[in-house]
């Protein structure tokens, strides 16, 4: 069976020794976030995820969601688990105290989110979407809408959705057709069909709050004519209870490859009452708050799945006996050696392990940037953190989810044929991981966002900040011979990023296809470089730990895993830089008829 134990020791190591979580807890609103409190939260989250959510992962996949006459039932056990989840306050840990939230750091929210998705990706979708809706409303909603909806979305008694996609309009939101007619009472009547809406209908909460993109009657065409509306399933009464049914109904649920316990719904809006969030025709700006939160959330899904895949594969590789070690038997009294003796099996495990551990450091660092961007008392520090966050969001979304899928596939490969059959549970990880590369903007679109917007924004300042941050680390550690094996390859990788960006700046103006052709490779090149930076920081922390002389095995393992990354993963950056400089010609040479 698939295995999951929350990697608490590793999580604490990253928080305490790698990213310096103290900088976060020193921010004004987090004075009460003591190490003891953090420990208690991690322990409790681990118990819930291991004992309640993880056991429902397989049964939820087997049973799926049920649709009957507009009503959706989640699989057995989900409702009870959700009740336990909200009773424990888990939906509210990072939300605003002004609306009843606990106001804990986003960094800590990321740690908990990782555990939830490792344990049960489908379950995590329900509170995950609510979190995005909450953020959009908090940033752009009028005070009366915030008062009415935020406390309930925060405490999880109501849940949220994001309604963008329509049958003819996926990536290209400029084509959306859903209409919003102004009403005499200041509300709008929303009419149209949305597809693929996660958590659009279910039985976990007493109300469902849709954040829906639609067009006003006089709106300009394209993305400049889209507005955002809040549309509840039940219209709230004056005293905040779910009242009369609104004109929005689930028409069907999708039958799909994975995340079967997450309801993916066709939602029909038929003159449903809604209220505008943000400015007319500026709905995409408001929705971007939700989309950015959701993109990072989806990135965390990639990490979560990768961790479960790795743990399952590592346990199996220590147990499964096949063949003999090339250097002589390691289990001489048994019929064969465990497959973990074989270099190729180790290759697979170490790709997974070096990804999960490096990505965890990168993810929690990104979490700390959210906290600094919101709460630093210094405007320059807030701006610097936000710049890095903007730049890293598409990188985290696309690279983490590509690697989540790769890790799940490597887990199946480690299990051999036993991974392909359902009994062992790792094939579910492959099916569940696959969607993460597609939704919230397919990964190719993340790459275009990086190349077309994020690298160019503010005259390239965010990219310069990232390069500055990494170059600062290199300069500070270059003279330390123990760090050379991490710093030198990092320096070369940074050089390749600079060369590639330069190539793009020289060529993309003349031919825009150059940017499109380079985008996915450049995103991967930058992701690997960011990971190498994290492995540098992990190595530095490991050396400090070794010097202190406690837990040497733990720190030596970190260094060995980092060496694998530096020597056997990071060299991909050389090939990527070559691919980028090969330009768009080979991609665009064939006529469409030749395919």
Ligand X SMILES: Cc1cc2nc3c(=O)[nH]c(=O)nc-3n(C[C@H](O)[C@H](O)[C@H](O)COP(=O)(O)OP(=O)(O)OC[C@H]3O[C@@H](n4cnc5c(N)ncnc54)[C@H](O)[C@@H]3O)c2cc1C
Binding site for ligand X (CB under 6 A): 161-165, 170-171, 196-198, 256, 264, 435, 438-442, 444-445, 448
| CA pair distance 293, 133, nearest whole angstrom | 9
Examine the residue annotation and report whether 68 is marked as an active-site residue of this protein. Answer: no
Residue 218, SS3? coil
Residue nearer to ligand X on the CB measure, 171 or 331: 171
CB of 179 to ligand X, least distance (A): 17
Report CA torsion sign: 550, 552, 554, 556: positive
DSSP helix/strand/coil, 265: strand
Backbone torsion region of residue 234, taken as left when φ is above 0, otherwise alpha when ψ lies between -120 and 50, otherwise beta: beta
Find the shortest distance in angstroms from Cβ 31 to ligand X.
Answer: 36
Pair 275, 145: CB distance under 8 Å: yes
User: With respect to ligand X, which residue has the nearer C-beta, 10 or 254?
Assistant: 254
Secondary structure of residue 343 in the 3-state scheme: helix
CB atoms within 10 A of CB 233: 23
Q: Give the 3-state secondary structure percentages of the chain, helix then strand then coil, rounded to 5.
A: 65, 15, 25
List 166, 427, 440, 514, catalytic entry: 440
Nearer to ligand X, 429 or 448 (CB): 448
- Beta-bridge partners for 236: 242
Structure-derived torsion over alpha carbons of residues 470, 472, 478, 479, reported in degrees to the nearest 10: -160
CB of 197 within 8 A of CB of 265? yes
Q: From the CB of 162, what's the least distance to ligand X, in Å?
A: 5
Q: Could you tell me if 248 and 267 are in contact, meaning their C-beta atoms sit under 8 angstroms apart?
A: yes
Nearer residue to ligand X within complex by CB, 357 or 427: 427
Rank residues 445 and 569 by Cβ distance to ligand X and give the closer one.
445
Give the residue closest to ligand X by C-beta: 170
Contact 250, 67 (CB under 8 A): yes
Q: How far is the CB of 63 from ligand X (least distance, A)?
A: 17
Minimum distance from CB of 387 to ligand X (Å)? 25
Closest CB 206 distance from ligand X, rounded Å: 20
Tell me how far, at minimum, the Cβ of 313 lies from ligand X, in Å.
25
How far is C-alpha 359 from the geometric centre of its chain's CA atoms?
A: 11
Q: Are 59 and 75 in contact (CB under 8 A)?
A: yes
**Where is 102: in which H helix or E strand?**
none
Q: In terms of CB distance, is 274 or 358 closer to ligand X? A: 274
3-state secondary structure of 197: strand
200 contacts 161 by C-beta, under 8 angstroms: yes
Please identify, using beta-carbon distances, which residue of 154 and 200 lies nearer to ligand X.
Answer: 200
- What is the distance between the alpha carbons of residues 535 and 559, in angstroms, rounded to a whole number? 9
SS3 89: coil
> What number of other Cβ atoms are within 10 A of residue 267's Cβ?
27
Nearer to ligand X, 209 or 435 (CB): 435
Give the shortest CB-58-to-ligand X separation in angstroms: 19
Catalytic residues: 440
């Amino acid at each position: 069976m698939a295995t999951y134990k929350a990697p608490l020791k590793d999580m604490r190591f990253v928080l305490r020794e790698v990213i310096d979580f103290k900088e976060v807890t020193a921010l004004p609103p987090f004075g009460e976030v003591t190490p003891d409190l953090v420990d208690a939260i991690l322990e409790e989250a681990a118990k819930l995820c291991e004992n309640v959510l993880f056991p429902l992962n397989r049964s939820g996949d087997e049973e799926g969601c049920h649709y009957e006459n507009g009503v959706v039932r989640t699989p057995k056990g989900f409702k009870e688990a959700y009740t336990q989840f909200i009773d424990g306050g888990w939906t509210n840990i990072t939300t605003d105290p002004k609306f009843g939230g606990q106001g804990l750091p986003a960094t800590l929210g990321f740690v908990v989110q990782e555990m939830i998705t490792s344990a049960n990706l489908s379950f995590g979708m329900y509170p995950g979407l609510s979190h995005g809706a909450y953020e959009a409303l908090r940033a752009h909603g009028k005070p009366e809408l915030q008062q009415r909806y935020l406390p309930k979305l925060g405490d999880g008694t109501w849940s949220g959705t994001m309604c963008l996609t329509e049958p003819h309009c996926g990536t290209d939101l400029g084509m959306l057709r859903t209409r919003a007619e102004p009403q005499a009472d200041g509300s709008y009547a929303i009419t149209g069909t949305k597809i693929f809406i996660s958590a659009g209908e279910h039985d976990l909460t007493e109300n469902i709050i849709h954040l829906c993109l639609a067009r006003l009657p006089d709106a300009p065409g394209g993305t400049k004519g889209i507005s955002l509306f809040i549309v509840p399933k039940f219209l709230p009464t004056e005293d905040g209870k779910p009242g009369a049914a609104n004109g929005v109904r689930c028409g069907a649920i999708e039958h799909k490859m994975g995340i079967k316990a997450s309801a993916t719904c066709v939602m029909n809006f038929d003159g449903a009452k809604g209220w505008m969030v943000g400015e007319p025709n500026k709905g995409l700006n408001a929705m971007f708050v939700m989309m950015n939160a959701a993109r990072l959330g989806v990135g965390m899904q990639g990490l979560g799945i990768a961790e479960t895949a790795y743990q399952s594969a590592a346990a199996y590789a220590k147990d499964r006996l096949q063949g003999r070690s090339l250097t002589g038997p390691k289990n001489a009294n048994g019929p064969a050696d465990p497959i973990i003796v074989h270099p190729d099996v180790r290759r697979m495990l170490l790709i997974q392990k070096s990804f999960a551990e490096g990505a965890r450091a990168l993810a929690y660092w990104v979490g700390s940037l959210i906290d600094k961007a919101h709460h630093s008392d210094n405007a320059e520090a807030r701006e610097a953190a936000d710049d890095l966050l903007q730049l890293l969001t598409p990188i985290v979304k696309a690279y983490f989810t590509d690697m989540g899928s790769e890790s799940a596939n490597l887990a199946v490969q480690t299990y051999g044929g036993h991974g392909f059959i359902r009994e062992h549970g790792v094939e579910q990880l492959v099916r569940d991981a696959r969607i993460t590369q597609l939704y919230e903007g397919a990964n190719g679109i993340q790459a275009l966002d990086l190349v077309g917007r994020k690298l160019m924004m503010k005259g390239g300042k965010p990219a310069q900040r990232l390069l500055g941050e990494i170059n600062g680390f290199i300069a500070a550690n270059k003279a330390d011979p123990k760090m050379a094996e991490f710093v030198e390859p990092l320096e070369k990788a940074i050089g390749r990023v600079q060369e590639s960006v330069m190539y793009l700046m020289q060529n993309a103006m003349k031919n825009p296809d150059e940017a499109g052709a380079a985008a996915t490779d450049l995103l991967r090149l930058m992701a690997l470089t960011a990971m190498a930076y994290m492995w540098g920081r992990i190595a530095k922390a490991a050396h400090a730990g070794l010097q202190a002389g406690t837990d040497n095995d733990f720190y030596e393992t970190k260094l060995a895993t980092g060496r694998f990354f530096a020597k056997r993963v990071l060299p991909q950056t050389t090939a990527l830089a070559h691919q980028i400089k090969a330009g768009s010609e080979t991609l665009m040479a064939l006529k469409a008829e030749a395919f």
